[in-house]
């Protein structure tokens, strides 16, 4: 260390404090990396690796990136799992005496990114802290880019499910956890396979120390009692650890966190992971894109803040009827006048991302243009308030009260910063003329120096009487007065000899010397003064954080409500009636996403569910006829209603639902060693354990992943359990191909049969997409296969086999050629029949079963069931 150059010694001292981070060391206009950091960064960022003399025999490996484009490089490193420490110059290098003072101002990790160009505008970036103790856990989330913090505590009956659901609700990019969390191997495996986030183990003592409680109180300026946390030690512990981590990594940036919300699982509708995916709330199942999701349909917001809040509305529907009705009132009033709404939305389009701009202000990384954007936003706010003042709904009036004009911010920035400022402060030229007297004088010297010299030259000629006196400048001597030898006798006493030449002499005066000093330092001094003024502006704006944050939240809410009104108007949604009677009544309901992408009119359908006569609807009909779409649209209409949104229906009466569960589609989880049927059964088990009488349950084709008898038995047992369990009795839509289940309508009160109407033309069918009372009389499987493009020979052979099954003669069918055997055997195997072969075993049990079958009484489904049973007998 002693042999290192002073600058490299400074680097090593700072690096020792950040051994696990890549240290971005500011040198002039570049961030440089040295030694091992340089080797890593050059490889990961594809940078040229060079070297630097450091006082040792060998040059230090070195690479760097320009400071003005550093965000791009940091983003790439963070996405690869690295943590980056930003080491800044804390003084102006031109004014520094010796080595420039440098300090690490923050550490950037996946969960602590605050730069807008490194984040999605419409999505929060959360860091999470979780503390597991036995069957309970506390969990906290913070978005340092917006200043929002959430915390809660759970008494859990299923840690795996409840933790995963909370993590999915916020989708953090970084998680801090204790050892007991690590012991939950299923959760750890899920995080590894299904969530894009990094994790860090924290010592258990940190969660329980008095320091973390103190940090919580100091951060939010209130006692635990006032914060509502005194009865939630786990929530307090994980929140304190999170704040401590942010203090350590973000330094002063932790001041941004001012908006703490203690939330409860009973505050929002429970939408578990399976339901979020199956209902495609924020992204599609197939591509993971926003387009094609419910969020895509509803999001017509004009601000980044509104986009993030709209996502929260979709992911966290309300349960409190009063809050829902307030939102509905606001949406209804906004719907009534298109011109007024358009004017308000146009004003909102002028609002910049106040939340993330304020984060930059707090961090000290805000640029002149971004500060000007704050002023531009403040300029628009009075018009927004004026427009809102014309509305009467309580929520819109309240939001108007919470929006500040930000007049002081606007006036100060407008007076101080030019209309079109540069991106950085590096070259100056940011502060308006007339704002600072010394700055104006220095600019006058810099910009009008030639005129000043000419005036001084004329003044000296008059004073001395030397008509050929000249004032010149060179780089060696600076400014000087030149007098020829013949005029030396007229030189005043205050002239100071500077240089003697063959035919003249050069002098300086005190005035010229002072002016020269001013000119030489004018540019440097201009930049310093502008930086000082800009820093004062930043600090003033930072002091307005609470006001700006409150304004940002209110503007975002107005934006979301306008968007919901715009969608309701555009797609002809209606205001749902919110009740507590247990009923879900929908007339002419439509799927909000499907109807927007169809080229043909969407066929609407009615729905009736309640807590007595219509608890469970058994829906039968062929594949592709629209059963899944229908069930999903019911769930989405209920969810939209509890968001406060209008819904795609001509009429809707919606009782508050505490949770929505779905079991839809076929999927496996090979990474967890689970087959399609295992995943299906796991999801059903979760629903039966956690649904309540106030839940809405969507079940699609339960039991189809196993044999017919097993699947039908499971499906019927699940229906019976839902209907007869004291815990359940929840409103349920149950789609199935097991037509035998339609008999349950007559066996259990509250079960009602529905089917998807189909029109048949010979061997062809047309899906009418209409839900009608009663059970379906056919699965139309072969017709659906034909529609899907199955080759004609396959469809023809399938019809032949179906007729043989219906007549009960398949067991005696013999093929006449080897080609027929090759062509038909795979089909028969696929249908579950034994390979065609001649077997004569009169004593075999299969023959006894065949004798008991009456072909005239067989339905196609029963024939298939007998076929499976025959196959099992033959195998044994």
- What is the torsional sign of CA 246, 250, 251, 253? negative
Residue holding tokens 């150059």? 5
Contact 801, 827 (CB under 8 A): yes
Q: Is 38 annotated as a binding residue?
A: no
- List of residues 6+ apart from 150 with CB closer than 8 A: 140, 141, 142, 170, 260, 261, 262, 263
Q: Is 625 annotated as a binding residue?
A: yes
Q: How many Å apart are CA 641 and CA 295, to the nearest integer?
A: 14
Other C-beta atoms closer than 10 Å to the C-beta of 740 total: 16
Contact 65, 42 (CB under 8 A): no
Distances (CA, A) of 442 to 422, 429, 472, 516, 527: 20, 12, 20, 12, 10
Question: Is residue 533 helix, strand or coil?
Answer: helix
Other C-beta atoms closer than 10 Å to the C-beta of 48 total: 8
Instruction: Taking each helix axis as running N to C, give the angle between helix 437-447 and helix 510-542, from 0 to 180 degrees, rounded to the nearest 10.
Output: 130
Contact 492, 481 (CB under 8 A): no
Q: Is 124 annotated as a binding residue?
A: no
Contact 62, 37 (CB under 8 A): no
- Alpha-helical (H) ranges within 82-184 are 159-170, 179-182
From first CA to last CA, the distance across the chain in angstroms is 81
Give one DSSP letter per residue of 744-759, joined into a string. Answer: GGGTSTTEEEEEEEEE
Q: Which residues does residue 473 pair with via DSSP β-bridges, in sequence order?
A: 479
- List of residues 6+ apart from 22 with CB closer than 8 A: 33, 37, 40, 41, 77, 82, 83, 84, 85
* Sheet (strand 605-609) strand order: 577-579, 651-655, 584-589, 605-609
Distances (CA, A) of 868 to 487, 681, 713, 861, 875: 126, 22, 15, 11, 11
Contact 526, 446 (CB under 8 A): yes
DSSP 118: G
Q: How many Å apart are CA 723 and CA 515, to the nearest integer?
A: 95
Q: Which of 477, 458, 478 is nearest to 468 (CA)?
A: 458
Q: Which of 804, 839, 794, 836 is nearest to 818 (CA)?
A: 836
- Longest Cα–Cα distance in the chain: 146
Q: Which of 608, 602, 606 is nearest to 572 (CA)?
A: 602
Instruction: Taking each helix axis as running N to C, give the angle between helix 394-402 and helix 368-388, from 0 to 180 degrees, rounded to the nearest 10.
Output: 140
Q: How are beta strands 30-34 and 22-27 bridged, if at all? A: antiparallel
Q: Which of 66, 38, 220, 25 is nearest to 140 (CA)?
A: 220
Q: Is 623 annotated as a binding residue?
A: yes
Q: Is 626 annotated as a binding residue?
A: yes
Q: How many Å apart are CA 150 and CA 263, to the nearest integer?
A: 7
Q: How many Å apart are CA 291 and CA 282, to the nearest integer?
A: 9
Q: How many Å apart are CA 752 and CA 841, to the nearest integer?
A: 47
Q: How are beta strands 259-262 and 136-143 bridged, if at all? A: unpaired
Can you say which residues are annotated as belonging to the binding site?
621-628
Can you say which residues are annotated as belonging to the binding site for ATP?
621-628
């Amino acid at each position: 260390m002693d042999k290192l150059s002073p600058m490299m010694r400074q680097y090593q001292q700072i690096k020792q404090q950040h051994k696990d981070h890549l240290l971005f060391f500011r040198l002039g206009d570049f961030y440089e990396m040295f030694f091992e950091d340089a080797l890593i960064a050059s490889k990961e960022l594809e940078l040229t690796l060079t070297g630097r003399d450091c006082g040792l025999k060998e040059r230090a490996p070195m690479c760097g990136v320009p400071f003005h484009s550093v965000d791009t490089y940091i983003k790439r490193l963070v996405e690869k799992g690295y943590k980056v420490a930003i080491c800044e110059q804390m003084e102006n290098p031109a004014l520094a005496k010796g080595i420039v003072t440098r300090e690490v101002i923050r550490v950037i990790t996946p969960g602590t990114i605050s730069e807008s160009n490194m984040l999605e505008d419409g999505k929060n970036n959360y860091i999470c802290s979780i503390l597991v103790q036995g069957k309970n856990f506390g969990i906290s989330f913070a978005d340092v880019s917006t200043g929002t913090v959430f915390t809660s505590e759970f008494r859990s009956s299923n840690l795996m499910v409840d933790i995963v659901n909370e993590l999915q609700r916020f989708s953090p990019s970084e998680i801090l956890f204790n050892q007991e969390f690590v012991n939950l191997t299923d959760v750890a495996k899920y995080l590894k396979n299904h969530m894009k986030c990094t994790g860090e183990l924290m010592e258990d003592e940190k969660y329980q120390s008095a320091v973390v409680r103190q940090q919580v109180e100091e951060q939010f300026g209130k006692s635990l009692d006032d914060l509502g946390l005194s009865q939630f030690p786990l929530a307090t512990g994980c929140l304190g650890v999170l704040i401590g981590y942010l203090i350590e990594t973000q330094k002063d940036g932790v001041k941004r966190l001012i908006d703490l919300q203690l939330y409860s699982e009973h505050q929002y509708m429970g939408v578990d992971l399976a339901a979020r995916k199956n209902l495609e709330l924020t992204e599609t199942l197939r591509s993971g894109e926003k387009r094609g999701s419910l969020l895509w349909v509803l999001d017509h917001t004009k601000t980044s803040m509104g986009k993030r809040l709209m996502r929260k509305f979709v992911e966290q529907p309300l349960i409190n009827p009063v809050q829902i009705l307030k939102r509905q009132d606001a949406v209804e009033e906004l719907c009534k006048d298109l011109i007024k709404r358009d004017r308000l939305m146009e004003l909102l389009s002028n609002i910049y991302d106040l939340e993330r701009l304020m984060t930059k202000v707090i961090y000290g990384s805000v640029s002149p243009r971004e500060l000007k954007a704050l002023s531009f936003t403040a300029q628009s706010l009075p018009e927004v308030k004026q427009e809102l003042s014309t509305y009467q709904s309580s929520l819109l009036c309240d939001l108007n009260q919470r929006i500040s004009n930000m007049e002081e911010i606007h006036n100060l920035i407008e007076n101080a910063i030019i209309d079109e400022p540069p991106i950085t402060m590096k070259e100056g030229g940011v502060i308006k003329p007339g704002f600072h007297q010394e700055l104006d004088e220095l600019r006058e010297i810099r910009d009008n120096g030639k005129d000043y010299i000419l005036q001084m030259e004329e003044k000296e000629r008059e004073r001395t009487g030397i008509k050929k006196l000249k004032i010149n400048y060179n780089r060696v001597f600076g400014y000087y007065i030149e007098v020829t030898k013949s005029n030396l006798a007229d030189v005043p006493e205050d002239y100071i000899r500077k240089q003697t030449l063959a035919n003249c002499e050069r002098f300086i005066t005190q005035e010229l010397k002072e002016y020269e000093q001013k000119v030489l330092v004018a540019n440097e001094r201009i930049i310093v003064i502008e930086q000082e003024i800009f820093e004062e502006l930043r600090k003033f704006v930072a002091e307005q954080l609470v006001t700006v944050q409150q304004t940002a939240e209110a503007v975002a809410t107005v934006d979301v409500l306008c968007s919901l009104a715009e969608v309701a108007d555009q797609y002809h949604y209606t205001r749902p009636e919110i009740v507590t009677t247990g009923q879900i009544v929908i007339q002419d309901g439509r799927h909000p996403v499907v109807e927007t992408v169809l080229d043909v009119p969407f066929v609407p359908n009615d729905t009736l569910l309640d807590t007595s006569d219509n608890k469970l609807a058994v829906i039968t009909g062929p594949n592709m006829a629209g059963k899944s779409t229908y069930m999903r649209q019911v769930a989405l209409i209920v969810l939209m209603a509890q968001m406060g949104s209008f819904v795609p229906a001509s009429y809707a009466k919606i009782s508050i639902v505490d949770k929505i569960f779905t079991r839809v589609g076929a999927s496996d989880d090979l990474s967890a060693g689970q087959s399609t049927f295992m995943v299906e059964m796991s999801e059903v088990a979760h629903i039966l354990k956690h649904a309540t009488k106030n839940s809405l349950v969507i079940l699609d084709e339960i039991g189809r992943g196993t044999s017919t008898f097993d699947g039908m038995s499971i499906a019927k047992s699940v229906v019976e359990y839902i209907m007869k369990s004291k815990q359940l009795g929840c409103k349920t839509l149950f789609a199935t191909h097991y037509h035998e289940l339609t008999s349950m309508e007559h066996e259990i009160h509250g079960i009602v049969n529905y089917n998807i109407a189909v029109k048949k033309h010979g061997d062809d069918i047309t899906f009418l997409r209409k839900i009608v009372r009663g059970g379906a009389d056919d699965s139309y499987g072969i017709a659906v296969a034909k529609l899907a493009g199955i080759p004609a020979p396959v469809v023809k052979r399938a019809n032949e086999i179906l007729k043989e099954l219906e007549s009960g003669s398949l067991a005696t069918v013999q093929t006449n050629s080897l080609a027929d055997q090759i062509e038909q055997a795979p089909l028969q195997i696929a249908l579950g029949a034994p390979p065609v072969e001649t077997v004569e075993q009169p004593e075999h049990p299969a023959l006894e079963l065949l004798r008991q079958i009456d072909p005239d009484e067989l339905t196609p489904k029963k024939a298939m069931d007998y076929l499976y049973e025959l196959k099992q007998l033959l195998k044994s």
